[in-house]
Amino acid sequence: MEFLGEGLDDVLNDLYHALLNDGVHNVSTNGGSLELLGVTLRIAKPRARLSRSQTRARPFSALGELLWYLSGSDEAAFVGPYIPFYVKDGKPAVVNGAYGPRIRSRHGFDQLQAAIELLQRKDGSRRCVIQLYEARDLLADDGTDIPCTTTLQFHRRGGVLHMSVAMRSNDAYLGLPHDVFCFTMLQELVAAELKLELGEYIHMVGSMHLYDRDRGRAERYRREGYQRAAEMPAMPHSNPFKKIDDLLAFEQKVRAGKSVDPNGDLNDPYWSDIGSLIQISFAGQDDEVIKEISVRMHSDIYHSSIEDQRDRIAE
């Protein structure tokens, strides 16, 4: 089953319709869900990764997850401020399925770096695969977190970088918008590093499912009517991985409560806006601080997410 669209909301809209109407009920360890097997999403404009719907995830948690991957950390404490699920009572301090070490260090080398070098060397390769799921994950106990993503693949074709991602399992309501955000950002980082044009994003899933507990929320999303995902500005091509290092250092300062200036510390409108989103993630319930940060931002694309956040605080 294939869903095509320009951006994330185009495919979410059709996917939720299909899951609600044709999904087959399945019971797993995490609860009952409506499931479709063998689903592919094709997104023509990967920058249209911010869902406009009022009921969808905001960029803050997805950004935290992306930084967690890029930092190479497997510590729940890193991602906890963005996604409290990881630090709930009884959850392990070290996350077995964390993507960071699997991508960046676990095999004695950095898969992302090696993938970039392969792409640099060769146009047209079909071998540029980053592996997340490993053979031994099949032996894990039921309660152990293992990666839902099996592989990330980059396809350099001419001056364009396409990406396809394979997932064994995808939670259509909570997981999917985060996954599309993180993987399309990775695609854009690699494209920017290699000065390639951003191509198509293809997301292939073995078990796509909508949990029973989210069915009402998916119905509400559909009722809100047609949404178009907001397109983020293009990532600048100059030294994106240096900017990621700067961003990770900036994040550590924000986390430690030190004073920061996104414009000065990150020195570029695109990255300074991302820095501001991180600041907002750590601003807690302080509406005045959030307002102050948001007026200094360059792109107005994030405004509706920030307004959402402020509404939630006001409630």
Residue 74 sits in the site that holds ligand 5HM (CB under 6 A): no
Distance CA(308)–CA(315), nearest Å, equals 11
* Identified binder of ligand 5HM from the candidate list 35, 74, 179, 214, rule CB under 6 A: 179
- Is 35 a residue that touches ligand 5HM (CB under 6 A)? no
- Quote the CA–CA distance of 195 and 198 in Å, as a whole number: 9
Nearer to ligand 5HM, 16 or 250 (CB): 16
Beta bridge partners of 32: 27
Residues with Cβ < 8 Å from 229, sequence gap 6 or more? 7, 8, 9, 10, 48, 49, 50, 51, 52
Nearest residue to ligand 5HM, scored by beta-carbon proximity: 175
The rounded distance, in Å, linking the Cα atoms of 170 and 187 is 19
Q: Which stretch binds ligand 5HM (CB under 6 A): 115-123, 154-162, 170-178, 305-313?
A: 170-178
Amino acid in position 233: P
100 binds ligand 5HM (CB under 6 A): no
Give bridge partners of residue 213 from the DSSP assignment: none
| Cβ neighbours of residue 236 closer than 8 Å, sequence gap 6 or more | 192, 243, 268, 270, 271
Contact segment (CB under 6 A) with ligand 5HM among 56-64, 145-153, 241-249, 280-288 equals: 145-153
Shortest reach from residue 196's CB to ligand 5HM, in Å:
25
149 binds ligand 5HM (CB under 6 A): yes
Binding segment toward ligand 5HM, per CB under 6 A, in 72-80, 142-150, 289-297, 305-313: 142-150
In whole angstroms, the minimum distance from the beta carbon of 195 to ligand 5HM comes to 29
- Structure token pair of residue 86: 């990881």
**CB 147 → ligand 5HM: shortest distance, Å?**
5
Which residues have a Cβ under 8 Å from the Cβ of 237 and sit 6 or more positions away?
192, 195
CB of residue 135 to ligand 5HM, shortest distance in Å: 16
In angstroms, give the least distance from the CB of 107 to ligand 5HM. 18
Distances in Å between the alpha carbon of 146 and those of 3, 71, 141, 285, 294?
A: 26, 19, 10, 33, 37
148 binds ligand 5HM (CB under 6 A): yes
Q: Interface with ligand 5HM by CB under 6 A: which residues?
A: 28-30, 97, 146-149, 169-171, 175, 179
